[in-house]
Amino acid sequence: MRSKIPSLTALKSFEAAARHGSFRDAADELCVSHSAVSHQIKQLESSLQVELFERKSRAVSLSKRGKLYYPVIRDAFDRIAEGTDLLLAPQSPGILTLQLYSTFAIRWLIPRLQKFYSTHPDIKVRINTSQNDVDFIHDDVDLCVLIGNRSSADIHYDYLFTPQLFPVASPTLLSNIDITSPEQLAQQTILQVYPSDKDWYLWLDGVGAHGVDPESGLQFDSYDHALSTASQGLGIALGMQPYVARDLRAGFLVELFAGQRVTAAGEWYLACRRDKADCAKIANFRRWLLQEIKEDSDLSDARKDKNKPI
């Protein structure tokens, strides 16, 4: 059972008075009389049986107990305000709520997002990152990127790409060891992405490597974390285009076994509710993203002709 919560009106008066250090200024902010604020705070003190303010002839200041209570109440009102903004903002026609996997957001989309804003300054993109699939009926999400197949007639799918997998490591690490075959990975620290734990097994099976345990090393919740760790020389990660392209070009990472890439399981799609696919903000973002995918040379080997009506 939840403990008794004091009057919300009294708490608002207390928070405003504590923030201003004045009952009169709090009254002006709340559009009530000075005596109303004073009365609410007295009621709160009586209810709590605690003196919250030290009253002087021309000023008030928080008591020792009031100083403990104020940050709690201030933060509670801040969270209520933030939650209210979050609830109401997605209803704005100018805000596009987009759910992505964190690595796709950090390593591919965000560096390109300014290009979208330059041509669509009236649309503001709100990004949620999650490993879970969107429930378009219950979630306040306009578009999402997902891995899988076209599985629902109520969803519109735009095919993006099918990534390729391949091990990568830092030049510093490779300068101290000699790896010429996949089986030698058994003696190295493997960096595993546990929400995608089948990927390492898929690559090992695809190249016919045996005796390597992908679960034996460090584990991370995203490809971004695993690749960043690999670039620091702390192990061998599985690379996935297009997320590792810039690191390869910059020389932060090196592909271990050229010519031994394996196609990942599951295709990547941009998805939205079918009845909202032509909504202006959604349609504009879909067109822009598909063009960016098409122009990305790092994805030239990872695209198939899949954008056909179903």
- Tell me which residue of 288, 301, 276 sits closest to 115, measured CA to CA: 288
3-state helix, strand, coil split of the chain in percent (to 5) is: 45, 20, 35
> 23: closest CA among 68, 70, 55, 63?
55
Largest CA distance in the chain: 85
Backbone angles phi, psi at 164, to 5 degrees: -115, 145
More confident residue, 117 or 132: 117
Q: How confident is the model at residue 93 (pLDDT cuts 50, 70, 90)?
A: low
pLDDT over 90, % of the chain: 55
Q: Give Cβ neighbours of residue 167 (< 8 Å, ≥ 6 apart).
A: 182, 185, 203, 236, 237, 238, 239, 255, 256, 257
Alpha carbon distance 269, 307 (integer Å): 10
pLDDT in tens, 222-266: 899 999 999 999 999 999 888 888 899 999 999 999 889 999 888
To the nearest whole number, what is the mean pLDDT of the chain? 88
Q: Is the distance from CB of 162 to CB of 267 less than 8 angstroms?
A: yes
pLDDT of residue 176: 87
Summarised one tens digit per residue, pLDDT across range 178-192 is 889 999 999 999 999
Q: Assess whether pLDDT exceeds 60 at residue 89.
A: no
Q: What is the mean pLDDT of residues 254-281?
A: 90
Q: Say whether 239 sits in a helix, a strand or coil.
A: strand
Q: Residue 91's pLDDT band (boundaries 50, 70, 90)?
A: low
Sorted by where each starts, the structural domains of the chain and their CATH numbers stand as 8-90 (1.10.10.10), 92-161+266-299 (3.40.190.10), 164-263 (3.40.190.10)
The radius of gyration of the chain from alpha carbons, rounded to an integer in Å, stands at: 28
pTM listed for this prediction: 0.65
Pairing outcome for strands 164-169 and 218-220 = unpaired
What is the pLDDT, as a whole number, of residue 88?
Answer: 63
Mean pLDDT in residue range 117-145:
86
What is the model's pLDDT at position 308? 45
